[in-house]
Structure 1
Amino acid sequence: MLDTLSLGRGPGSMRTVSRVVPAPSRVGLDLIGIEKGTDVEFDLRLEAVSEGVLVTGSVRADVVGSCSRCLEPFDDSVDLHLTELFAYPDSATEETTEEGEVYRIVDDEIDLEPVIVDAVGLELPLQPLCSDDCEGLCPECGVRLAIAESGHAHETMDPRWAGLAAKFGAGSDASNATADASKNNEEK
């Protein structure tokens, strides 16, 4: 909460605010966000305008997440630039806008939490990555490809080709499958 009483209502009056506060709750998306208690740094300018208080400046915080490809945890940071108008009570802006379209000053205080929640939600990626070149997981065995040996691969055979592979002696699993199928046909 930022107090606007010392700012006054005269258009053009201004003051700067620099603070570090702990995040009151987790802010972000499913795979990435600012954890509760993490320091959030504000460097803001509050400027009185005819309809309210214009808040501009930057917000910075550390974020933690899980990579959407390899599922490994990682740390990063988010830097936001805010420009938001908080309407005075009984101003034309407050009276002509629907609830939720504009932020409002309540009891001469500005609540920045909903602004930051909205800005962080728009800034963070829906599918965060630990690095831009993350290779992810092997679709066959689930090992992280970043730590797998060079040329990591699995030989799999389409079961529709098993009979042909058995005829030419390729793949012992295919030979066994064909032999089992032949045995079942003979028993019938």
Structure 2
Amino acid sequence: MEIPTPTLETDRLILRAPIAADFEDWAQFAADEETNRHLGGPQERAGAWRGMCTMTGAWVVRGFSMFSVIEKETGRWVGRLGPWQPEGWPGTEVGWGIVRDCWGKGYATEGATAAIDWAFDALGWDEVIHTIDKDNVNSHAVARRLGSTILREAVLPPPLNWPVQVWGQSREQWMARRGR
């Protein structure tokens, strides 16, 4: 059974639901210690598989989830980002994770911008948040570029149970900033 999911495009990226062919790249991303330092730590292939299937299954259960990020120029899988709200989550999140050799290219900001537009327009969200480790300066910079500020502190639900800063903004703030 195929579940209809959107495909979003930016100047340099294609955002689409994860597919089985993404798994090798997803597993390499999940295994990278530096990339996952603030995302719960590196994962072995079995954990990466469960994580990818959880995000893919959320499309069926919630009607939204993170997208696979595909670099238009090369067709390469370069990360995952987008709307995320598992049970007990501290709000309606748009999060990101980009492969390390693509850090500094602006992909997280570019992709998150498209995902936030989609979350507000298609999902009708009133607020978007980003749950970020207090020491993750790279994601703090992305959140600032998106116009988000620290809203509160939270602890992610079990089995994660780790403290985060909740960055974000309202629909009205986003729309005003985007001139819409």
TM bucket (normalised to shorter chain) is under 0.3
Q: TM-score when scaled to structure 2?
A: 0.22
Normalized per residue, which structure has more helix?
A: 2
Normalized per residue, the structure richer in strand is 1
Structure exhibiting the larger radius of gyration computed from Cα positions: 1
Taking structure 1 as the reference length, what is the TM-score of the superposition?
Answer: 0.21
